């Protein structure tokens, strides 16, 4: 593959992002669903690629005709298929760069109830997934037990985590799990917004919300996704003079260094395992761990260095957010555009069963547990965790903004504190990354017992400690 082909494949991403944005501006349904342009553009690229347009025109054109691949060449498809696994490292390495690290007391006070609730929901997704695989999908469809982790990988982790786990799925002999996870992640985003809006309507009409008291209170956000001129804010601060180094280049370099630190840590762990556990037992585990959760720790290490030594505050969080957002857009559009429709078709019933099971658990968990665990503003705070459990962090933040547009409740602060403890483990962290090889190696029953114990820990501690008002956040 030539450099020109790789460059052309990257240019195509810009075309489909703009197409997705134009469609969102024109179609009210997509605005009401708050769908990002990357998801819309990804579906358009999928439709115009070899799996849909290519198959439709093949009977009507000669062999070798360029439309047999749709408007996507083989080179474009190959490049796009590799992008999600690369971009997820940028997303996770950026999570804590430029962010202030609060004290443990504040994290516990405000983020404790959120952590207990999110912990129960996240581990519960493993419980539901493993139960479904053990008693339904395994016996009836011969689905590998690793599929029990797909709900958490796809729903809590989202497209990025699903893409990052591709190499793990392949090395463990279940490469089809990547396509299933990407499909489930898309279902999670869509259902997270749809059910989130339904829950908000229900809550407002039944006096469950403390900030918004009328049903028109969140209609202002249903716009074309264009920021009002008077409300436009800078994308980031110029923390360095451009003649010395472009600030954007500096921040991108910081993220790259964080990824390299993570890569070094991972290689060290693999090497250490090879001369200890692997040498003693003949089995290895670390080789299945993807880079992205370790890259997150690289970002934390780098930010800790800046907190101690950077007296000029050179790392700007807004600039980091823009780079992270770009990586996520590229990740989503390329992942959706290259998902295998054939695999999803072959596994359609298991796919639907996992999707319904995951959605049902998240709805039950929110309706039953949130009000019992979170001591005040339970809906405003809990809806963020519900959104994250369905469609990653951005969905949770969106739903919180709808029910608390002026930040009158402690929802955003509590959610942010909870993420500092939650993200390194669930929702794409170490637990998510380790779950698939752990289930494959230790077996589904041990995985189920562990997940059930962790779910009970989060739920019971949340209900009987935070829910009883013993430590209000």
Is residue 12 within 8 Å of residue 76, measured between CB atoms?
yes
- Report if residue 77 sits inside a domain: no
Q: And the tokens for 437? A: 């090889």
Calpha distance 34→32 (Å, rounded): 5
Q: Give the per-residue pLDDT at 398.
A: 67
Is residue 455 within 8 Å of residue 127, measured between CB atoms?
yes
Report the candidate in 185, 166, 117, 165 with the shortest Cα–Cα distance to residue 358.
185
Residue 267: CB atoms within 10 A of its CB come to: 13
Q: Give the per-residue pLDDT at 359.
A: 94
Calpha distance 436→415 (Å, rounded): 27
Is residue 61 within 8 Å of residue 266, measured between CB atoms?
no
- Report if residue 8 sits inside a domain: no
Instruction: Compute, in degrees rounded to 10, the torsion defined by CA atoms 457, 461, 414, 206.
Output: 110
Phi/psi at 358 (nearest 5 deg)? Answer: -65, -45
- Domain carrying residue 180: 91-211+235-319+341-473
pTM for this model (two decimals): 0.76
Number of domains in the chain: 1
- Report if residue 4 sits inside a domain: no
Query: Taking each helix axis from N to C terminus, what angle separates 104-132 and 348-365, rounded to the nearest 10 degrees?
Result: 140
- Report if residue 206 sits inside a domain: yes
- Report if residue 289 sits inside a domain: yes
- Report if residue 64 sits inside a domain: no
Q: Give the per-residue pLDDT at 256.
A: 97
- Report if residue 221 sits inside a domain: no
Task: Give the pLDDT of the chain (473 residues) as one tens digit per residue.
Answer: 788 989 999 999 999 999 999 998 898 888 777 677 888 998 899 999 888 888 888 887 777 677 777 888 888 989 998 888 888 789 888 878 987 766 677 677 778 898 899 999 999 999 999 999 999 999 999 899 999 999 998 888 877 778 778 888 888 888 888 888 888 988 887 788 788 878 888 888 788 777 766 655 444 555 556 666 666 778 788 889 999 999 999 999 999 999 999 999 999 988 988 888 777 766 566 776 778 778 888 998 999 999 999 888 899 989 998 998 899 889 888 888 887 788 888 888 999 999 999 999 999 999 999 989 988 888 888 888 898 888 766 677 667 777 776 667 777 777 767 776 787 788 777 788 888 888 988 889 999 999 999 999 999 999 998 876 655 55
Contacts of 465 (CB under 8 A, 6+ apart): 116, 471
Any alpha helices (H) in 133-246, and if so which ranges?
A: 138-141, 150-151, 158-164, 166-171, 176-205
Q: Give the per-residue pLDDT at 100.
A: 73
- Report if residue 162 sits inside a domain: yes
């Amino acid at each position: 593959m030539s450099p020109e082909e790789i460059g052309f494949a990257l240019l195509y991403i810009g075309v489909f992002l703009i197409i997705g944005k134009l469609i969102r501006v024109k179609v009210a349904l997509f605005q009401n669903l708050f769908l990002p342009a990357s998801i819309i553009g990804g579906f358009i690229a999928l439709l115009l690629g070899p799996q849909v347009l290519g198959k439709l025109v093949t009977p009507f054109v000669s062999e070798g005709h360029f439309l047999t691949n749709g408007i996507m060449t083989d080179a474009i498809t190959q490049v796009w298929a590799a992008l999600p696994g690369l971009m997820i490292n940028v997303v996770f390495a950026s999570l804590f760069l430029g962010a202030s690290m609060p004290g443990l007391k504040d994290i516990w006070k405000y983020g404790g109830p959120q952590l207990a609730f999110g912990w129960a929901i996240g581990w519960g997704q493993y419980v539901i997934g493993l139960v479904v695989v053990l008693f339904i999908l395994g016996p009836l469809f011969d689905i590998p037990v690793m599929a029990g982790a797909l709900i958490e990988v796809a729903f809590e982790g989202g497209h990025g985590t699903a893409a990052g786990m591709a190499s793990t799925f392949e090395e463990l002999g279940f490469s089809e799990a990547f396509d299933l996870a990407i499909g489930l992640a898309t279902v999670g985003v869509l259902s997270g917004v749809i059910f989130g809006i339904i829950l908000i309507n229900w809550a407002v009409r039944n006096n469950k919300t403390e900030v918004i008291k009328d049903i028109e209170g969140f209609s202002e956000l249903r716009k074309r996704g264009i920021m009002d001129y008077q409300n436009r804010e800078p994308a980031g601060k110029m923390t360095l003079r451009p003649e010395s180094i472009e600030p954007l280049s500096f921040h991108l370099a910081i993220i790259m260094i964080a990824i390299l630190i993570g890569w070094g840590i991972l290689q060290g762990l693999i090497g250490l395992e090879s001369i200890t556990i692997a040498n003693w037992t003949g089995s290895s585990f670390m080789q299945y761990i993807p880079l992205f959760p370790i890259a997150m720790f690289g970002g934390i290490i780098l930010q800790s260095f800046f907190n101690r030594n950077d007296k000029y505050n050179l790392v700007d969080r807004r600039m980091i957010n823009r780079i992270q957002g770009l990586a996520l857009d590229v990740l989503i559009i390329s992942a959706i555009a290259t998902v295998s429709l054939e695999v999803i078709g072959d596994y359609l019933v298991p796919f639907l069963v996992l999707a319904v099971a995951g959605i049902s658990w998240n709805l039950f968990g929110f309706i039953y547990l949130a009000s019992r665990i979170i001591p005040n503003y339970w809906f405003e705070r809990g809806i963020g965790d519900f959104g994250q459990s369905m469609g990653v962090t951005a969905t949770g933040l969106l739903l919180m903004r709808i029910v608390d547009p002026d930040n009158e409740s402690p929802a955003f602060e509590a959610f942010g504190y909870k993420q500092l403890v939650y993200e390194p483990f669930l929702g794409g962290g170490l637990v998510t990354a380790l779950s698939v090889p752990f289930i494959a190696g230790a077996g589904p029953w041990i995985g189920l017992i562990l997940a059930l114990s962790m779910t009970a820990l989060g739920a019971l501690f949340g209900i009987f400690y935070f829910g009883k008002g013993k430590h209000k956040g």
